[in-house]
Chains A and B, each alone.
Chain A
Amino acid sequence: MFHNLQELRQSPSLATKVFIQRDYSEGTVCRFQIKFPSELGSRIERTLFEDTVKTLNTYYAEAEKVGGQSYMEGCLACATAYFIFLCMETRYEKVLKKISGYIQEQNEKIYAPRGLLLTDPVERGMRVIEVSVFEDRGSSGSSPSSNVSSGISQR
């Protein structure tokens, strides 16, 4: 913990957070909007970001697919009065683990080097993909934030 807290003194501060909203055009299935937010314009290439969101959407679609596998899981679970869920991981939970690994990998390879950080949507109730934008001390005088708000600024 103290390692993190010491980092706080030397490390860059949070400039703003961008929230990618859910896309409900196909119903209540979990899907995020593939709309590139303007606040990230200078920090990351559009295609990279859109690819990340598209891949996440594919993962969620796989988790929520109503098909042969979900029927089997449902029938087996019902036959055991759902006690089987006490020892077995559901398909959705397995996919969520894969997503968590994917986001971590994306953060390491793509987002952290650009001063960004993706938060797993499951930590935000599957409502938003939170992208934390950190101040870019490397470049000269660039301010990534177009939303200036006292609520968001670092105190």
Chain B
Amino acid sequence: MSAVMIARKVRKWEKLPGKNSFCCDGRVMMARQKGVFYLTVFLIVGTCSLFFAFECPYLATHLSPAIPVFAIVLFLFVMAMLLRTSFSDPGVLPRALPEEATFIEMEIEAANGNVPAGQRPPPRIRNVQINGQIVKLKYCHTCKIFRPPRASHCSICDNCVDRFDHHCPWVGNCVGKRNYRYFYLFTLSLSLLTIYIFTFAIVHVVMRSVDSGFVKTLQDTPGTVLEVLVCFFTLWSVVGLTGFHSYLISLNQTTNEDIKGSWSGKNRLQNPYSHKNIVKNCCEVLCGPAYPSVLDRRGLTQDDLPVPASTAAQSNPVPQTTKTTAPLIPNEHTPDDAKSSIADSAISHAEKGSPSPKKEKPSTPAKVPPLASPETDVEASIIIAKEKAL
């Protein structure tokens, strides 16, 4: 059978479940609703532009040229932290593949025993002891996993996020383990920038008013009024937020835990993650290791295999090559056909005892089992079927 072979590189981000949006071929990962993020960028860039246009020329000549220089450095740092927070993976936990999900289900059933018909099964909870304290791990029905401690499921992004803090619409992303320090540095530097611009805008108006009068000053530099207004209202919220997060960091708590009152002391529940020392807590949160993403967004999926244009008549649906946006139900298709083909090369050579090439994993670096995606398994099974037909 002759068929037109089409090779198409599909990266893993295109198949990831959840409601994230990706840019730059998987390098950028954000939530779907980005409107408020654009507003944040507009406010920061706009206010700083007004500052550089109206205040800086006067202050550079009448006070010191260091003032605009420091403002530029601070502005660039704020933007770098904002973009880092917004564009990075917050610490999303990939969903369980079908075998893992089944394994967990069996464990749950074994633990629950026989539930009489008509009765609700007990809630799926696993108790673990952390530093001498019992912590309940909840089961996530979407991701089919028991959530690790401190992880939580974000309903906006439809992902479980490790050390989930909160979903921030201002940065257009979740704040979790991987980007919390960038978020904190963003709020801190933005507080400084806001205070800086507010202060020097006032200084500028005062200095100019001495020479030309208050009303004329406002007429000459209308941008100043806008800056002062924006900074005044931003100050309270951003400085307050920075203070709140400084408090959380000193206690090694997340916003999520604070809101739920997990460690408020009732039922004698103490925070098992705190080192009981402010310095140690700050060091762990801000100076800890930079965790890598476990999502592998830019890896290639098995769609990289040549796909025949005319597929054999199969009960399986035609594989979609566009990014799926609906949440995935991992139990729909069997993954074994795809995965065993990868492992078999290792096992077969091991069993035959032959000194074949030293690779347990597939030769090409990208051929790792895909994350919970039925489409790739469907395509692999179509290819296997075609092989058998030929």
Contact residues of A with B, CB < 8 Å?
1-8, 10-14, 17-19, 22, 24-28, 63-66, 70-71, 73-75, 77-78, 81-83, 85, 90-93, 96, 104, 107-108, 112-113, 115, 117, 119, 122-128, 130, 132, 134, 137-138, 147, 149, 151-152, 154-155
Q: A4-B345, A8-B341 are in contact. Are A115 and B148 (CB under 8 A)?
A: no
Distance in angstroms between the alpha carbons of A81 and B82 in the assembled complex: 11
Q: How near does chain B come to A37, taking the closest CB pair, in angstroms?
A: 11
Distance in angstroms between the alpha carbons of A42 and B97 in the assembled complex: 26
How many of B's residues come within 8 Å of A, CB to CB?
A: 69
Say whether A14 contacts B387, CB under 8 Å. no
Q: A4-B341, A115-B351 are in contact. Are A64 and B99 (CB under 8 A)?
A: no
Distance in angstroms between the alpha carbons of A149 and B99 in the assembled complex: 10
Q: How near does chain A come to B300, taking the closest CB pair, in angstroms?
A: 12
Say whether B305 contacts A8, CB under 8 Å. no
Q: A5-B384, A82-B84, A115-B350 are in contact. Are A65 and B289 (CB under 8 A)?
A: yes
Say whether A154 contacts B148, CB under 8 Å. no
Cβ-neighbour of B369 out of A112, A115, A123 (below 8 A): A123
Judged by DSSP, the binding face of A is mixed
Q: How near does chain B come to A40, taking the closest CB pair, in angstroms?
A: 14
Distance in angstroms between the alpha carbons of A65 and B288 in the assembled complex: 8
Q: Which residues of A contact B185 (CB under 8 A)?
A: 78
Q: How near does chain B come to A51, taking the closest CB pair, in angstroms?
A: 18
Cβ-neighbour of B346 out of A83, A112, A138 (below 8 A): A112
Say whether A66 contacts B347, CB under 8 Å. no
In the complex, given contacts A24-B129, A25-B131, A112-B349, what are 19 additional A-B residue pairs having Cβ atoms less than 8 angstroms apart?
Answer: A7-B341, A7-B345, A12-B348, A13-B340, A17-B99, A27-B149, A28-B150, A71-B287, A81-B81, A82-B80, A82-B81, A90-B292, A112-B350, A117-B346, A123-B296, A125-B93, A134-B343, A149-B106, A154-B340
Q: A22-B148, A81-B81 are in contact. Are A4 and B331 (CB under 8 A)?
A: no
Q: Which residues of A contact B342 (CB under 8 A)?
A: 4
Say whether B130 contacts A11, CB under 8 Å. no
Say whether A154 contacts B336, CB under 8 Å. yes
B204 within 8 Å of A by Cβ?
no
Q: Which residues of B contact A154 (CB under 8 A)?
A: 336, 340
Say whether A11 contacts B344, CB under 8 Å. yes
- Offer 26 A-B interface pairs, CB within 8 angstroms, sorted by A: A1-B383, A4-B344, A5-B387, A6-B387, A8-B384, A10-B348, A13-B340, A17-B103, A24-B130, A28-B149, A28-B163, A63-B289, A71-B283, A75-B287, A81-B76, A81-B80, A90-B290, A112-B346, A112-B360, A113-B350, A117-B346, A122-B292, A132-B339, A134-B343, A155-B336, A155-B337
Say whether B273 contacts A92, CB under 8 Å. no
Q: Which residue of A lies closest to B280 (CB)?
A: A66
Say whether A27 contacts B287, CB under 8 Å. no
Q: Which residues of A contact B80 (CB under 8 A)?
A: 81-83
Q: Which residues of A contact B135 (CB under 8 A)?
A: 24
Cβ-neighbour of A92 out of B97, B99, B292, B360 (below 8 A): B292
Q: Which residues of A contact B182 (CB under 8 A)?
A: 82
Distance in angstroms between the alpha carbons of A103 and B378 in the assembled complex: 29
Distance in angstroms between the alpha carbons of A93 and B294 in the assembled complex: 11
Q: Which residues of A contact B76 (CB under 8 A)?
A: 81
Say whether B340 contacts A28, CB under 8 Å. no
Q: A27-B130, A71-B283, A123-B369 are in contact. Are A8 and B93 (CB under 8 A)?
A: no
Q: A17-B103, A71-B283 are in contact. Are A5 and B341 (CB under 8 A)?
A: yes
